[in-house]
Amino acid sequence: MKKIGIVELQTTSVKLVIAEILENQSFVITDRYEDRVKVATDMVNFELIKPATIASVSSILKSYKAILAASGIEDVQFVATNEYAEAKNQRSFFEELYSTTGFRFKILTAEEEQNYLYLSFSNTLDCPKGIAVGLNGTNVQLTIYNRRNILGQVRIDLGSYHLAEKYIADKKNSAEIMKQMCDEFSKKIAKLDCFEQLDPETQIVGTGDVFLGLAKLSKKVKHYPYNRDHAYQLERDDFDKVYDFLNGLEIDNTKKLKGISTERADIIASGLSIIKAISDKSAVNKFIVAETGIAEAIILLAANPTLDKPMSDVLGNSLDTLNLYYNKANIQNTKNVYDISIVLFKQLKVLHKLPRNYVKVLRIASYLNDCGKRISAANYEKKGFNVVLESDIYGVNHHEQVLAAFTVACQKLEDFSMTDWVRYSSMLTEADLDGVRKLAIIVRLASKLDMFNTGKVRDISCDILGDSVIMKTIVESPAEMEIAEGKKVAVDFAKAFKKHLEIL
């Protein structure tokens, strides 16, 4: 497997992302580093980057150079966001970085930056229709897309640091300050026609300090149980609660928000004011947060150079990638379990009565049914719970990923933990509990029918008769051992489906 590194220079942070390129033209992030810098503050206040800031950036990059050297990575790309094009001393800044580190950076064009963000969002999120927001200290970039097509792009030369520096110094009350910031940005986008006739399913999607801060604050307000930012979704009511919370604070340029990285409260406030203005203008009241961004898009293109449009099956590609990286020795078994699980889901639909959206949960759980074995073979189902929760599974929402974790954990019904379920109860329902139990039995039965990784069971036909389910296996060679293993699930099958199971 080939390793690649991306050093991404933003005006608020420097990032190093290291990934392994896989045979399926995808990648797995193996290391991620991020350090804060104050370039945006310099550029807004002085229109150039101060010597102390240059020295700080150079010191960070020297440490990244040592990491890359220790990792033996030769394929490294160095990119700087388009904001750097506005610095008066950009030439001397990058020459200094080159002389001290040997890193030669490419300043991205605004179009490249927007396209990278769109590519990243559309290949890691279940958000087919969106307004991709690149919210920087000095500008905001918007890309409006529908499914796999870009409908329009625009850049507004007014960012979160601009607004914060302009208004926070007035020492007015926070509500008035945030209203003024929102009003000013609203005027900037008032005449844009790209927001007209948006699909009702459109979401505002973004990454970076402000969006990640929004996610963390929203989760605190809601007492959200799942500690994951990527793919976190909010409704307008959730957003307004965070916005109103900041309205009630005394905001200045030194105040920090507990648990929100090291970002200043005034920058979060100005950023949220910008997001509110975009939401008001577009009438889009749904938001989704991404942890992926420019670096991930560059890595994706390095892995798949011919990719010109987003993938048609983000979840499927993500599961194939995890399977290839973590479970290569048993990759065919995983696919067999998935195929049998889908057949069983369809054959037993009249019994489980689960809606189609549970298919995503089943896909994840069947692909990762034995992922707990990465830790230990003993009680691997229980260990699989945390593995699924913490895995980078793209193309699903939090609700689906949590349900998949429970499905993997309770393939044996006696292993089901109501204590864990109660912990996540605020994002789950009684119907979900019934669904998880049924899906868990389907996955366990499928795994038993390919227990020996032979692929003998090619199809299944179920007859539902009175109090029994007659399950006829269609095999390409005798499968007595697989059928015998499948029969061991009969007791739990009866508990979940209220039917006696016979396998032929």
The span from the CA of 135 to the CA of 447, in Å, is: 46
Q: Which of 214, 215, 162, 202 is nearest to 185 (CA)?
A: 162
Residue ranges of the domains in the chain?
2-108, 125-291, 314-503
DSSP reduced 3-state for 275: helix
Which whole-number Å values give the CA distances from 340 to 13, 448, 490, in the listed order?
47, 10, 17
Tell me, what DSSP letter sits at residue 250?
-
Q: Which of 494, 363, 388 is nearest to 441 (CA)?
A: 494
Could you read off the pLDDT of 270-284 as tens digits, one per residue? 999 999 999 999 999
Using an 8 Å Cβ cutoff, are 410 and 439 in contact? no
Q: Which of 17, 28, 14 is nearest to 328 (CA)?
A: 28
Using an 8 Å Cβ cutoff, are 341 and 60 in contact? no
The pLDDT, as a whole number, for residue 259 is 58
Angle between helices 430-448 and 398-409 (to 10 degrees): 50
Q: Which of 386, 388, 445, 434 is nearest to 412 (CA)?
A: 445
| Per-position b or e across 218-254, b if 16+ CB within 10 A of its CB | bbeeeebebebbbbbbbebebbeebbebbbebebeee
Q: Where are the beta strands (DSSP E) in 112-173?
A: 129-135, 140-146, 149-156
Q: Would you say the pTM of this structure is higher than 0.95?
A: no
Using an 8 Å Cβ cutoff, are 144 and 194 in contact? yes
The pLDDT, as a whole number, for residue 249 is 74
The pLDDT, as a whole number, for residue 308 is 81
Where the chain has pLDDT below 70, the residues are 170-172, 251-263
Using an 8 Å Cβ cutoff, are 77 and 15 in contact? no
Backbone angles phi, psi at 307, to 5 degrees: -70, 115
One fold for both 2-108 and 314-503?
A: no
Second CATH level (architecture) for the domain 2-108:
2-Layer Sandwich (3.30)
Hey, what amino acid is at 61?
L
The pLDDT, as a whole number, for residue 367 is 94
Which whole-number Å values give the CA distances from 161 to 45, 79, 209, 259, 272, in the listed order?
9, 21, 12, 20, 12
DSSP secondary structure, 151-182, as one string: EEEEEES--HHHHHHHHGGG---HHHHHHHHH
Q: Which of 324, 334, 319 is nearest to 443 (CA)?
A: 334
H or E element that contains 437: helix 430-448
CB atoms within 10 A of CB 171: 10
Second CATH level (architecture) for the domain 314-503:
Orthogonal Bundle (1.10)
The span from the CA of 291 to the CA of 309, in Å, is: 20
Q: Which of 503, 478, 477 is nearest to 490 (CA)?
A: 503
DSSP reduced 3-state for 107: strand
The pLDDT, as a whole number, for residue 252 is 61
* Structure token digits, residue 39: 């370039």
Using an 8 Å Cβ cutoff, are 267 and 36 in contact? no
DSSP reduced 3-state for 68: helix
Decide the pairing of beta strands 106-107 and 468-475. Answer: unpaired
Using an 8 Å Cβ cutoff, are 31 and 66 in contact? no
Question: What CATH number matches the domain at 125-291, 3.40.50.300, 1.10.10.10, 3.30.420.150, 3.30.43.10?
Answer: 3.30.420.150
The pLDDT, as a whole number, for residue 253 is 55
The span from the CA of 371 to the CA of 384, in Å, is: 5
Hey, what amino acid is at 260?
I
The span from the CA of 394 to the CA of 221, in Å, is: 25
If phi over 0 gives left and psi between -120 and 50 gives alpha, with beta otherwise, what is residue 129? beta
Using an 8 Å Cβ cutoff, are 177 and 169 in contact? no
